Structure 1
Amino acid sequence: MTEAPVLAEGEVLAQVADAGGSREMDIRGGTGPGALSVLVKCQGKGRLTVSVEPAGVSFPLGCVDGRVSSILNRLDVKRAHEHGTLSVAASAGVRWALTVGRSRGR
């Protein structure tokens, strides 16, 4: 968890490494249009939930002691929003890292 995960492609808009607890961060440049990728890794017993606004999307990730769990979600954003926010809520004892990226036009 000491390093943020690496996306295979796209411009990095936000990154966090070796975090715990809850946090809210801006998505640099807002959201869309195009694919918005959110790659999250966690470790420790509990649950982590990521929310992306204004897309109105959230997803959970179960975290386990002694093993790194990960998930990659791609959102197809149709309309541009000047401001975007990513919120993470994590159980006590869960360590996490994430990277948010954008790919334009496919």
Structure 2
Amino acid sequence: MNADSDSASASDSVKSPPELDDSETVVARQGETRGAGTFGFGEGEKGDALIIAVRCQGEGEIEVSVKPVNVGFPLECVDGEASTATSTSTSTTYNQIGVAGAEKKGTVSVLAPSSVRWSMTIGRGEPQRGEAPEPSGETE
């Protein structure tokens, strides 16, 4: 049985920041951090999208905010073993921001309870092209 190697892989997943696709460029990484933290990232090329990959473990919600684009999102973290590719409790989130100003240098701040451990990778890449999102809200 490979329980020990599975556990070792799981615990490494929060210690190591998430990986990005080969077509994306890493501009900053934050290793395992407990509770709140802030770190900076460098400038990109005009037209680049900003990619934020977050992995967390522990019971609670974290709030990620990105300046200067003024984008934020919550992430519910999972208590127990850190997520792995084969885990049913995945707590790795990838977000791509393709708004005006996303190519500028900035900072990422995470608000998190001390019970939560997280790691993060910031990258740059081509904005994803696809269908426009469906309008939300009800119309009458």
TM-score (norm 1): 0.87
Which has more strand, going by share of residues?
1
- Tell me the equivalent position of 2:58: 44
- Tell me the equivalent position of 1:35: 49
Residue 92 (structure 1) shift = 1.7
Residues 1:4 and 2:17 are matched in the alignment:
yes
How many angstroms apart in 2 are the aligned matches of 1:63 and 1:82?
29
Residues 1:71 and 2:93 are matched in the alignment:
yes
- Cα deviation per residue 1:55-103 (whole Å; 9 max; x = unaligned)? 0100000012114311111000334664311111111210001100001
> Gaps (5+ residues) in structure 1?
none
| AA partner of residue 16 (structure 2) | E
CA-atom RMSD, angstroms?
2.1
- Cα deviation per residue 1:13-53 (whole Å; 9 max; x = unaligned)? 11012111111111122685321110001000011111111
> Gaps (5+ residues) in structure 2?
1-13, 84-90, 129-140
Give 3-state SS (helix, strand or coil) of 1:6's partner: coil
| AA partner of residue 47 (structure 1) | E
From 8, 15, 24, give the equivalent of 2:38: 24
1:79-90 alignment to 2 at 5 Å?
79=101, 82-90=104-112
- Tell me the equivalent position of 2:134: none
Higher gyration radius (CA): 2
TM-score (norm 2): 0.67
Which has more helix, going by share of residues?
2
How many pairs are equivalent?
A: 106
More relative contact order, 1 or 2 (CA 8 Å, 6+ apart): 1
How many angstroms apart in 1 are the aligned matches of 2:43 and 2:27?
7
